[in-house]
Structure 1
Amino acid sequence: MNAPPRLKPHSSHWGVFSAGLRDGRLVVEPHPGDPDPNPLLQNFPDALRHRARVAEPMVRRGWLERGPGKDDRRGRDEFIPMAWDKVLDLLAGELARVRDAHGPGAIFGGSYGWSSAGRFHHAQSQVHRFLNTAVGGYVKSVNSYSAGASAVILPHFLGPFEAVSRRNVTWEQVVAHSEIVVAFGGMALKNSMVASGGVSQHVERRSMLAAAARGCAFVNVSPLRDDLPVEAKAEWIAPVPGTDTAMMLGMAHTLLSEGLHDDAFIARHCSGWDEFEAYLTGRADGVAKTAAWAASICGLPAETIAGLARRMAGKRSLIVLAHSLQRAEHGEQPIWMAGVLAAMLGQIGLPGGGYNYALGSIAHYGKRHNAVPSAALPQGKNGVTAFIPVARISDMLLNPGAPFDYDGQRMEYPDIRLVYWAGGNPFHHHQDLNRLRRAFAAVETLVVHEIAWTATARHADIVLPTTMTLEREDIGAAPTDPLMVAMHQVAEPFGQARDDYTIFADLAERLGTRDAFTEGRDARGWLRHLYAATQKGLAEKGLPAPSFDEFWEAGYLTLPQEDDDGGILRAFREDPEGAPLPTRTGKVQLSSPTIAGFGYADCPGHPAWLVPSDAPAAERPLWLVANQPATRLHSQFDFGGHSNGMKRRGREVMRMHPFDAAPRGIADGDIVRLFNARGACLATAAVSEDVRAGVVQLPTGAWYDPEDPEDAQALCVHGNPNVLTRDVGTSSLAQGCTGQLTSVEVERFTGNLPPIRAFDPPG
């Protein structure tokens, strides 16, 4: 009897694994060294040969017949199959037309970094390298949907984003030192189960279990009870969504008024205290930010707010903030205010104490850094200087030439004629999808590389089928994961799919720039080249440095890691004069003359409570929390077995409190309609006391599925909450995504239930 074929090593954003085909069926097994494997791995088997895959190059009929131009038929037109050589000729001609007529500044290189754990076949790097080397550049986006506000505000008051999030407090420190961890927005395992570049060990659950067993208290400040796992034994405090800044101000006032703040730390390590204290005490505006004041905003007892502040004082306390807090209007404020609160407690820079932005929001945070470099594809030099904050794509396409503010700069939106999207699905990430549809109708040409028929692909003019990660070779690596993975090809490409590198190399040849793009290497040659940096780093440290062939045969390579030194915040605490922070004053800035000088009404010179404009009202009385899903990464493999298996009645699940369900006649399992002035979607109701009353929760990532594509305000029958969310920036400072919170009404759906067609190829 023949033994089954050996499973091959591979990696994904949600875990390292081995995979292979047995009797025509994909088998996936987690890496044996992972103490808490991610069930998202089970999305792979059904996805590999799913009907949603794009099988051949396709061109939209209207674009093919009428040529480039604005067209509101995008998203509802039919597609024509085309041979690879012909479609690449067509596309190369269009790229040359736009470049020659309008310059590379008329091309937007749209992408997102989550397409693959592989460091070579990383779609964002591939498309940017191609546009830089073959076209002369492109308009880029900066920051991310996840951390658009925090990436801009953190450097103003504390330090660079990476230093404050990735090189700070580790899980080892929490286990050994933390006495109380207050997690604003929680530390949900669904978030820390994923990481760019792959993750070999999910340590968060066992770390919280160990810390709690030692006596560390965890506090979950969130409208959702399960934003901390049961292993943390967390206390749940559920303020009104979006009011965390007011709650922190109330806590800060308690510390100050009761003499519990650390005067010595503030005096030596901080600047701008007088301006902030004037606001906190009410000397500046006549309103003292007491716990009682905060209670009226947060919907919590004043004693809960004051009591938490008292419990944190004098202990090894750690304040953690989830990405979710800053994905809302005025999202800069809770990030800044939490830093001020940590400074008042005097804990910044201590092992297991102080402030760690986004610990628990992704698997790379809270871990040591590798001591040698890992693979990264060079992207070349961009000849275009124009850029936009990533969440302002619709603004740019709808308002060419219009002014906008960003971090003290007054800028103009470029006039984009061609959008090239490879990696990412803006119909997941972006807000107000009906507005996004109008934005995509405004360009002359939209090109998309995709493995499957996402809504973005359906709105494209040219769709090029790409391989899934399992259908190619790559190297999985991340700066804070010690396991480098030789990602072997497991299956043959689906249909006529090609990898992005092959597509771009052939396009570059048609544009006369193949050598500049490829540097004379095929894909395997690039893997050898990228691996060489790691091999050299190991050799320089006197460590075993296997050849590429040895690494590839072994499948894995364990890398050395650096000491757990606490990064710039530890060094600053120990020697503030000798190791100043990279802020304007070299200290923690409790207020900022720089930001004050920008004159932004929606982001003043110190953290402040600013009333949101989209809070619930009579016609939309409920807060909607549109958070990250637990059954997939963003919208990836929504058609996979695990993701599909967790839907109910084929639709995404919306949770609501019994207090809100009962008067609306909604029972568990009912189909409900969520709606506001921007749009509407269907979902299946789950009635639960794990959600704060007055709040409904519907995760993002269900593929957009309009009941009638001809309708500009079409009902999404599948449950995509971004038909409801607002497409506005966090503030004039960062212009980040505000997709986490909006206001809606919910009603029981009583009409004929529309079918789900999200995963069907276009007709």
Structure 2
Amino acid sequence: MDNLLTNGVGRRTFLKGLGITFLAPVIPEVMAMPINKPPYKYLFDYSELKSARSSCAMECLHCNLTAYTYKGELIKVEASKDFNVKACMRGLSRTKWVNHKERLTTPLLRTGEKGSGEFKAISWDEALNLMEQNIRKTIAEDGNKGLMFVGFTGNMDAVKNDMGRAFFDYLGGCTRRSGSICCGAAYGAIPPITGIRFTDTRDTIADSKYLLCWGNNPAVTLHAYWKDFIAAQKNGARIVVIDPRFSETAAKADEWIPITPGTDSALALGMMRVIIEEGLTDIPFLKNHTGAIYLVGADGDLARYVDPNLAATSSESSCCGGKTELSNTNYLVYDLNSQSYVAQNTPGINPALFQSELPADSPYTTVFEKVRQECEQWTLAKTSEVTSIPQHTIARLARDFGTVQPAMIIFNMSGAQRTENGAHVVATQHYLALLTGNMGKRGAGILDAGGATQMVKFGPLVPPAPNKQKIATIPMARIGQAIIDEDPHKISFLYSMAFAPLNQLPNTNKVKEAFKKVPFVVVADNLMTDSAKWADLVLPVTTIFEDVSLMAGPRSHYVQLMEKAVDAPGQAKPDYWIFARLAERFGFGEVFNQPIEHYINNLLAGTGITLEQLKKGPVKPANFPWVPFDGGKFNTPTGRANFFLEAWKAKGHPAIATHVPVIESSTGNPELAKKYPLMSVQRKLARTVHTSHGINEWVNQVQRNVPNIMIHPDDAAARGIKSGDRITAFNDRGEHTAIADVSSFMMRGVVSLENGWWERQGGTSSTVTSDFVEPIGHGQACNSTLVEVRLAKV
């Protein structure tokens, strides 16, 4: 080994020699080795190193990183030793991101056509002048609604995106996105059920006896916690994967169950029917901790209890089934002890759950009965026909989930909810956990994105804006078409930060057309991304280790101070510096131009966490292990989890989650399927987080840097395709060319496209994905997309 280090070795050769082909954390010294040179420890005295800590701030797990600098240069990044998880290859390769040869160092003004990448350097004063002029012009001609701000997950610290939103609020408001291309369906489904969006069960994965990875690939997307999956498996837990693709997780699992894309809610309902019919429900949990006991009136609404002593002075004339506002959570139940209708929070009652327990002449139906009725049609035969899963597998899956305790569904913003019916998928998965009592205890629950925000309430970054207008939003999944159609209104100024709209938004060609249409587009980034090439003005911004900030969000369980280690290259500035300078020009600079420590202290106010504590290292804001809804106490007004979703019904959706067939599918649109017979699904890769790290030198040395399309051998043979061929997936939206990966690890009739590729590497697969807006949470439907595949044109 000493000889190897002395003689030097290429990083790629060394990593391949170690067998590193995945995201497993790698030896920090390896990631600090310059190609064909000995490690730094042979070149200088370690006593001259300085260190700083930060968080890997993309939409990932926000691992804590320690940076080492030498004479003002970042030379090494390693996983912080006192953190609960270890950083992966991407985090350790941050050295090459900070020092990237293509870093933006000065503001750039477009000189050629949009998309040409032709720019000239300008000063910050010129850039700020241009933004001020175009903002004022837009407000004068179109009103504040003509402004649009889009900040997203390229940097999820607690300051930068929120500072951008606050700035536009202080201007009087702007057009924002609604929903999310990440997990809009989850936003639509989870809060009405549990009362809170972001919760996770990561701390007790190892305690589970049944891990159902549903439309999710945690070996890649929860890589830092994969050790806990392995620990659970060693302790006797089964890992089961439901996915059209035999994923990296499936390779380590006990069972792989391929499923037709877009039919996951049908599977959940079929499983629920088996669980209910075979008496596998947790009756005490349902009675004590859920709204399954609430009563539904003949009008289809939840009935409320009205105190007869108050009824005489109101329009109500009965204690039963009062028509009151939705904010009234005094839900009506039937008490088996007193044989009477009472409020759900009446002490000492035994509420009826089953319809058979109600009086024969009762005008009500229990919510549990409504759920049972919804499942009734989903026989094993029908569920199998729709999902392509054998009947015996569905029955066994249901029985296992209903009897093996504790059981956990690995959701984590799954691909299953990036479908036309995604909110129903999320809701029915929660129904399964609730029916079996698999929530509020160790080893159980729904493993979703979570973090410090579920444990403690953080303060506002700045005071609320005094004159913010209410402006109609644009669904994120359809930003391109909406801007083109001026629906709901014209956009004349667009500011994009921490986001790659030209790679990540569905229907890329429409997004490009939208960028052309908007008179003035600003993109703030630290590299010349594909989206930056379509901007009018590009602003160079810092990345981690180049400014001070705070990580306190919905991913890591720790609150982390993000320290500065090195100066940014050239004139690159923190995003919050840009908004401070703009705010000064619009007369509210004092709100935005305070020292960064001021804003960090604002966020920490009331949490019990201090900046001085954070300077010593990351802080856990709650007791560990963290168990969401511990003891069955949910975040709803009643403390109970809901099956009957009044928020859905109020907007014209079914109150009980169901299966809504996908329109863009072979069964939903047979005519379209004649042209484009293959379903396509999107896959996340170990090499990037969305587009982040896409052109990172070290990542490209140890991972392939061309996109693949996975296709089943039967589908490939019918098209004359062999592994290694250049092939093109296409539909009416566009086309995406990649290398064929012909494999039985892909379900017949389905192809897998890969997320996160830059145009220089072959282009984004989003050129073909559907921009259908999931109707409940305004999620995206990239996994409800039909394509055809052919050999690429020479």
Normalising by the residue count of structure 2, what TM-score does the alignment of the two structures yield?
A: 0.76
Q: 1:38 to 1:229 in 2, by over 3 A?
A: farther
Q: Does 2:568 match 1:493?
A: yes
Q: How many angstroms does 1:375 deviate by?
A: 8.2
Partner amino acid, structure 2, of 1:672: I
In the alignment, which of 165, 171, 195 is matched to residue 128 of structure 1? 165
**Contact 1:629-1:700 within 8 A present in 2 as well:** yes
**Contact 1:369-1:480 within 8 A present in 2 as well:** no
Q: 1:53 to 1:86 in 2, by over 3 A?
A: same
Q: Does 2:189 match 1:153?
A: yes
Deviations 1:75-133 (A, max 9, x none): 2473233222222222212212222333322211111143254x34x2x1221222233
**Contact 1:295-1:302 within 8 A present in 2 as well:** yes
Partner amino acid, structure 1, of 2:115: G
Q: How many angstroms does 1:425 deviate by?
A: 1.4
Rounded Cα–Cα distance in structure 2 between residues aligned with 1:112 and 1:280: 38
Rounded Cα–Cα distance in structure 2 between residues aligned with 1:86 and 1:136: 24
Mapping for residues 149-548 of structure 1, pairs under 5 Å:
149-162=185-198, 165-166=199-200, 169-172=201-204, 174-176=205-207, 178-193=208-223, 202=224, 204-226=225-247, 228=249, 233-263=253-283, 265-266=285-286, 269=290, 270=292, 271=294, 272-281=367-376, 288-316=377-405, 317-323=407-413, 324-353=415-444, 355-356=445-446, 359=447, 362=449, 364=450, 377-378=461-462, 380-381=464-465, 383-386=468-471, 387-400=473-486, 402=487, 413-478=488-553, 481=556, 483-518=558-593, 521=594, 525-527=595-597, 530-531=600-601, 534=604, 538=608, 548=612
**Contact 1:125-1:379 within 8 A present in 2 as well:** no
Using the TM superposition, name which of 375-384 and 210-219 deviates more: 375-384
Q: How many angstroms does 1:258 deviate by?
A: 3.2
Q: 1:289 to 1:487 in 2, by over 3 A?
A: closer
Q: How many angstroms does 1:38 deviate by?
A: 1.0
Q: 1:484 to 1:331 in 2, by over 3 A?
A: closer
Partner amino acid, structure 2, of 1:186: N
Q: How many angstroms does 1:593 deviate by?
A: 5.5
**Contact 1:703-1:718 within 8 A present in 2 as well:** yes
Rounded Cα–Cα distance in structure 2 between residues aligned with 1:101 and 1:468: 35
Q: 1:160 to 1:295 in 2, by over 3 A?
A: same
Deviations 1:469-488 (A, max 9, x none): 23223334447746554433
Where do 5+ consecutive residues of structure 2 fail to align? 1-42, 295-366, 667-672
Q: How many angstroms does 1:725 deviate by?
A: 0.2
Partner amino acid, structure 1, of 2:368: W
Rounded Cα–Cα distance in structure 2 between residues aligned with 1:189 and 1:266: 33
Deviations 1:743-763 (A, max 9, x none): 222223251xxxxxxxxxxxx
Q: How many angstroms does 1:303 deviate by?
A: 0.4
Q: How many angstroms does 1:48 deviate by?
A: 2.9
**Contact 1:470-1:489 within 8 A present in 2 as well:** yes
Q: Does 2:639 match 1:595?
A: no
Q: Which residue of 2 aligns with 1:745?
A: 788
Q: Does 2:143 match 1:103?
A: yes
Where do 5+ consecutive residues of structure 1 fail to align? 63-72, 194-201, 282-287, 403-412, 540-544, 573-578, 706-716, 752-763
In the alignment, which of 727, 750, 760 is matched to residue 771 of structure 2? 727
Partner amino acid, structure 1, of 2:220: K
Q: Which residue of 2 aligns with 1:66?
A: none
Q: Which residue of 2 aligns with 1:284?
A: none
Q: 1:478 to 1:249 in 2, by over 3 A?
A: closer
Deviations 1:592-622 (A, max 9, x none): 45534543xxx43322222212114233222
Mapping for residues 29-40 of structure 1, pairs under 5 Å:
29-33=78-82, 36-40=86-90
Rounded Cα–Cα distance in structure 2 between residues aligned with 1:694 and 1:237: 15
Rounded Cα–Cα distance in structure 2 between residues aligned with 1:475 and 1:588: 33
**Contact 1:433-1:723 within 8 A present in 2 as well:** yes
Identity %, equivalent residues? 24
Rounded Cα–Cα distance in structure 1 between residues aligned with 2:431 and 2:166: 40
In the alignment, which of 675, 680, 690 is matched to residue 730 of structure 2? 675
Rounded Cα–Cα distance in structure 1 between residues aligned with 2:720 and 2:778: 39
In the alignment, which of 76, 80, 85 is matched to residue 27 of structure 1? 76
Counterpart of 2:531 in 1: which secondary structure? helix
Q: How many angstroms does 1:569 deviate by?
A: 6.4
Normalising by the residue count of structure 1, what TM-score does the alignment of the two structures yield?
A: 0.79
Q: Which residue of 1 aligns with 2:687?
A: 631
Q: Which residue of 1 aligns with 2:720?
A: 665
Rounded Cα–Cα distance in structure 1 between residues aligned with 2:139 and 2:693: 34
Rounded Cα–Cα distance in structure 2 between residues aligned with 1:236 and 1:55: 48
Q: How many residues align?
A: 659
**Contact 1:205-1:229 within 8 A present in 2 as well:** no
Partner amino acid, structure 2, of 1:377: L
Q: How many angstroms does 1:237 deviate by?
A: 0.9
**Contact 2:481-2:511 within 8 A present in 1 as well:** no
Rounded Cα–Cα distance in structure 1 between residues aligned with 2:568 and 2:767: 34
Partner amino acid, structure 1, of 2:79: P
Deviations 1:181-235 (A, max 9, x none): 2221134232224xxxxxxxx3x2221122112212121111233252766x431
Q: Which residue of 1 aligns with 2:154?
A: 114
Rounded Cα–Cα distance in structure 2 between residues aligned with 1:224 and 1:496: 45
Rounded Cα–Cα distance in structure 1 between residues aligned with 2:602 and 2:148: 32
Q: How many angstroms does 1:581 deviate by?
A: 3.4
Partner amino acid, structure 2, of 1:39: M
Partner amino acid, structure 1, of 2:770: R
Rounded Cα–Cα distance in structure 1 between residues aligned with 2:628 and 2:541: 40
Q: How many angstroms does 1:430 deviate by?
A: 0.7
Partner amino acid, structure 2, of 1:595: W
Q: How many angstroms does 1:414 deviate by?
A: 3.7
